[in-house]
Amino acid sequence: MTQCCINPSILSADFVNLEAELQKISNADSVHVDVMDNHFVPNLTLGLPVVQRIQAVSPVPLDAHLMISDADRWAPGYADAGVASVTFHAEASIAPVKLARELRARGSKAGMALRPATALEPYLDMLSELDMLLIMTVEPGFGGQAFLDLTLPKIRRARAAVEGSGVNVAIQVDGGITEETIVRAAEAGANVFVAGSAVYGAPDPSGAIDRLRKAGSL
């Protein structure tokens, strides 16, 4: 496994003071930007123009999580904007292999996300097309939800598949990550962790990142 990475989600940040909020997490590995369209998920956040401005002031690379419909059409624009890692949902893509290749060709790392109830197995043959596999540990759409332990077996199967294939694919988890749940997720095989409330809900977000990284490093 590669090193433990902590990607704070700005979904829990103060959007009025976003540049200052980004500076609080300068010791993070990436900043997780949740893009929601009120179609794929029942929430609306921000789009490409705002992501471009975030990128201009962020002290760390951007990890864009696109919770949007018609990912095949819209995701490449985020790669064109220079976002370091772009993750689309398998459920929102008609041609996920083509899309992953297009993201890589445009200079971004390609990630694919699966909702808690979406089976992993139909997508195992395309692991070599991905840089990251995101196993959602809550239903996507809202921050502050409790970690779903029922996703742990899927994380274990994903880790076994990655190691069995010999490809270098990170396994990210998103939803309900705390200093307690990160241990269970790491033991199951995850190595990239999205944390919103656990970071921005702490008095010292930078210190919270350090504690999460320590807890998630096995």
CA dist., res. 164 & res. 4, Å (int): 20
Contact present, 137 and 148 (Cβ < 8 Å): yes
Residue 34 designated active-site = yes
DSSP structure string for 8-36: EBGGGS-GGGHHHHHHTTTTSS-EEEEEE
Residue 72 designated active-site = no
Q: Which of 29, 63, 131, 174 is catalytic?
A: 174
Nearest to 63 by CA among 103, 34, 105: 34
> Rounded to 10 degrees, what is the CA torsion of 96, 102, 106, 110?
20
Q: Which of 14, 29, 34, 210 is catalytic?
A: 34
Residue with tokens 């890692």: 85
Which positions are annotated as active-site residues?
34, 174
